[in-house]
Amino acid sequence: MSGLFITFEGVEGSGKSTQIELLRQHLAERALSVLITREPGGTPTAEAIREVLLDPRNKALAPMAELLLYAAARAQHVEERIRPALDAGQMVLCDRFADSTTAYQGIARGLSLELLGEIHRLATSNLRPHLTFLLDMDPELGLQRTRERGRIDRMEQESIAFHRRVREGFLAIADNEPERVVVLDADQELEVIARDIRRHFDAYLERRAREQALAADTP
């Protein structure tokens, strides 16, 4: 695998899709082509699973069924889109990935983190992002943004206490993996956040190039 896998995480409405599009524009200006994708989704089968997961009529979905559906969507997405792109040396920007499972199904729903890790290994052969941007904000503000769009999905209908646990979950992941996860204050102007993301992204690329040059020099 020689490509670059970058994920965007955060509570509902924290601006992930918006920032992915802004980074894509920045990369396009530098003639860098990227694959933009999202979870759950990214392939026809995984998008069909997404419909089930987000449909507010599926209120009775059991936590374990929910976890396995997210994992099934991810297994298909990784196999069909992400891994082939990375193997071809492409850059992949993904709206949510396994950290969302840890935060939502693990920390907020309370399913075993050990089990989640095992399922992740089975579903993806333990694929990990190189770099993750965590757009952190008060979930109440994020939910307010999504409500302004008019449609409320099954996950957005969860209590505010649930969404607070999700936020805490993401922050705990960032604390455990500061090398990979960059935490950004998502309650700022779009362009301020976008500039920060570009700065961290460029610094990461430089660090990676230095490491690769060093590895090439090492006999």
Q: Which spans of this chain sit near ligand T5A (rule: CB under 6 A)?
A: 10, 12-18, 39-40, 54, 70, 95-96, 100-101, 104-105, 145-146, 149, 153, 155, 190, 193
Measured from the CB atom, the residue of 27 and 47 that comes closer to ligand T5A is 47
Measured from the CB atom, the residue of 195 and 205 that comes closer to ligand T5A is 195
Q: Is the peptide bond before 129 cis (omega within 30 degrees of 0)?
A: no
CB of 190 to ligand T5A, least distance (A): 4
Sequence length of the chain is: 219
d(CA 117, CA 135): 23
CB of 127 to ligand T5A, least distance (A): 13
**64 φ/ψ angles, rounded to the nearest 5 degrees:** -70, -40
CB of 18 to ligand T5A, least distance (A): 3
CB of 28 to ligand T5A, least distance (A): 18
Q: Over the range 38-62, which residues count as b (16 or more CB within 10 Å of their CB) and which as e? A: bbbbbbeebeebbebbbeeeeeeee
CB of 189 to ligand T5A, least distance (A): 6
d(CA 68, CA 119): 8
What Å distances lie between residue 25 and 5, 20, 31, 34, 63, CA to CA?
17, 9, 10, 10, 38
Measured from the CB atom, the residue of 39 and 136 that comes closer to ligand T5A is 39
Strand partners, 94: 7, 37
Half-sphere exposure of 104 (CA within 13 A, CB side): 25
Measured from the CB atom, the residue of 47 and 205 that comes closer to ligand T5A is 47
Measured from the CB atom, the residue of 3 and 10 that comes closer to ligand T5A is 10
User: 182 in helix, strand or coil?
Assistant: strand
CB of 10 to ligand T5A, least distance (A): 6
CB of 217 to ligand T5A, least distance (A): 39
Measured from the CB atom, the residue of 37 and 201 that comes closer to ligand T5A is 37
d(CA 21, CA 27): 10
Measured from the CB atom, the residue of 16 and 167 that comes closer to ligand T5A is 16
Output the six-digit token pair for 214. Answer: 């060093």
